[in-house]
A and B are shown apart, each in its own frame.
Chain A
């Protein structure tokens, strides 16, 4: 695979180039080892589809989502207004992100603060690349595999996006099997609302274990996710069940990237 060039907006703007989209990488996608693989896969997809894109790099700050869900509206708005200044400074129109939390915040909570962008989740963007024929995949490696898709709360219930990730999976000729609670009724992985960053309250079970058990009931080869936090929670769940040898937890970007390389 040839090395992909990742440009920042400031690089391109200084060369007089206006990229088609901003790839908002997010904190998990930038720093978390597991999530970085998703980032790289998506960058690869963008490259394959000849999408002109750029990132913000060190100019990208946390959207403020975990701060807001934890109740710290001050910190959230500090982050939001700082980010909006950067985004508006580059006159950015279209943002694609691999994190549903960033997606939700940018799409729904930034406009009131002066940040109006066309924001897409990467599963929506991949779907449009596929339907426009800019990207092609071969079922190959995943043909006939049993896959169950875990709806991220901030993509599904929060923004009613249930079909895009499923439509993308259909292109892989996989056998899509739904968990007993899916789509509107999808069970949370346990990470939302800033829970990712703290221990759970006292209970009789961890939420990610419960969700993993629901996923295992579908007897999947692969659990597909669309959120770096869900990915971590479900991967932990699979390890807890000692199934990591048999079952992979993969982001839709990773699945598509593998299929489009084959």
Chain B
């Protein structure tokens, strides 16, 4: 029976990791569903193509060619090495070793070689990423919102990726040494090892038992590392590896200049403009809507999905005209604040059996200040820049709506502009009757 212990430990580990992960996914799903419903189930084909192009095809990453290509290397590495993960899990559960090798023959050798080359490329890319984040002064990694946890988070991801790739290569290198030097261990002669073959001299002089131990420890640490990383996602900006797909599917497909028209306002305005309307007819059977957003509950589900998807790359902020000229606004911070607040709300729900007990705080003021909101020029540069279809502008606009329509809290000059429109039909104090005076100057 004892020989089954590793299989049992392995199976328990995988099931536990998947259980914790599914709980985290449920929490994310629950939190996103705190948002207002929004219909983004139209044009399924267009949306699917958008997802394939932007998330799967990484089409917007290459706007910055060097990091874009490096990112694609890591992404493809992640995808292909997941194929290897399948074999590791089968081996772990059944207690086999390289279970696919006999079935795949020379194709197996090709696959393992392919994985190894990608593992090396991933290591190189990740080292460059680390240098960019830590040694080169790249402005978008140095913003105020990147201090502390966000910076550490970025680095932790890079360290874990390097460690995982090294474990993978060590495991292969030791395996190759055993295949060549320790026939008594009965390792199947399979795989090609274009990278880890250079590691085998390191094992020369060690006893085959020690190399066997190195191979096994690397194998175990590699899979345990992957399972831990899977559950790290919930706490990390790295969630984008999963959420980029739904996020690009549900992203806006209409003209970026088209801002939503609030339906609740349309009803009221129509009533105001129509003298024969019965003012009690409409309002009696519907809840009085809150205009705009002051907290995450007032945002829509896609905006909350956006917040979880944001990987804090800062491409939005580095294109934002307000940020470029030293204003406090950073579109990335808008997304990070939204996620922070959503996570606080989520923990509140966990603690209070699914009911939100007010903590006296809101997204507005406690996270996002009015100064940030009023600095936006609504130019859509942030939306255009996001490589995974996040829309910080829509959150800014919803919060402005709350400030203006619920709190009458607009900068004074804007109040003047709005009263001009109301009274004269123009944002300046000119009489609408004079609107054609220019023709006399022809």
Q: Which residues of B lie under 8 Å from residue A78 when comparing CB positions?
A: 269, 272-273, 422
Chain A interface residue bracket vs B: 35 or more
Pick the contact of B417 from A25, A66, A153, A191 — CB < 8 Å?
A66
Q: Is the CB of B435 within 8 A of A36?
A: no
Q: Which residue of A lies closest to B258 (CB)?
A: A108
B257 at the interface (CB under 8 A from A): yes
Pick the contact of A70 from B324, B379, B400 — CB < 8 Å?
B400
Q: List 30 A-B contacts (CB under 8 A).
A: A31-B434, A61-B425, A62-B421, A62-B427, A66-B418, A67-B418, A70-B400, A70-B418, A71-B402, A72-B418, A73-B265, A73-B292, A74-B268, A74-B269, A75-B421, A75-B422, A78-B422, A81-B269, A109-B258, A109-B259, A157-B257, A157-B379, A159-B257, A185-B385, A190-B321, A195-B377, A201-B374, A205-B326, A207-B377, A210-B325
A45 to B292, CA, bound (A): 43
Q: Which residues of A lie under 8 Å from residue B418 when comparing CB positions?
A: 66-67, 70, 72, 75
A203 at the interface (CB under 8 A from B): yes
Count A/B pairs, Cβ under 8 Å. 226
Pick the contact of B261 from A77, A154, A198 — CB < 8 Å?
A77
Candidate in B292, B401, B418 with the most chain A CB atoms within 10 angstroms? B418
Known contacts being A81-B273, A188-B379, A193-B378, is A203 close to B430, with CB within 8 Å? no
Q: Is the CB of A201 within 8 A of B375?
A: yes
Q: Which residues of B156-192 have CB atoms within 8 Å of chain A's CB atoms? A: none
A69 to B273, CA, bound (A): 22
A216 to B312, CA, bound (A): 33
> Count of chain B residues with Cβ under 8 Å from any Cβ of A?
70
Distance to closest chain B CB from A107 (angstroms): 8
Q: Which residue of B lies closest to A199 (CB)?
A: B413
Q: Is the CB of A27 within 8 A of B428?
A: yes
B439 at the interface (CB under 8 A from A): yes
Q: Which residues of B lie under 8 Å from residue A198 when comparing CB positions?
A: 374, 411, 413-414, 417
Q: Is the CB of B272 within 8 A of A185?
A: no
Q: Which residues of B365-405 have CB atoms within 8 Å of chain A's CB atoms? A: 371, 374-381, 383-385, 397, 399-405
A82 at the interface (CB under 8 A from B): yes
Distance to closest chain A CB from B65 (angstroms): 14
For A148-159 the 0/1 string (1 means CB < 8 A from B) is 000001100111
Q: Which residue of B lies closest to A211 (CB)?
A: B321
A90 to B255, CA, bound (A): 27
Q: Which residues of B lie under 8 Å from residue A73 when comparing CB positions?
A: 261-262, 265, 291-292, 401, 405
Q: Which residues of A lie under 8 Å from residue B400 when comparing CB positions?
A: 69-71
Q: Is the CB of A190 within 8 A of B377?
A: yes
Known contacts being A109-B261, A188-B321, is A202 close to B426, with CB within 8 Å? no
Q: Which residues of B lie under 8 Å from residue A64 when comparing CB positions?
A: 421
Known contacts being A27-B428, A31-B430, A207-B325, is A159 close to B377, with CB within 8 Å? no
A19 at the interface (CB under 8 A from B): no
Q: Which residues of A lie under 8 Å from residue B325 when comparing CB positions?
A: 200, 203-207, 210
Q: Is the CB of A201 within 8 A of B371?
A: yes
Q: Which residues of B257-281 have CB atoms within 8 Å of chain A's CB atoms? A: 257-259, 261-262, 265-266, 268-270, 272-273
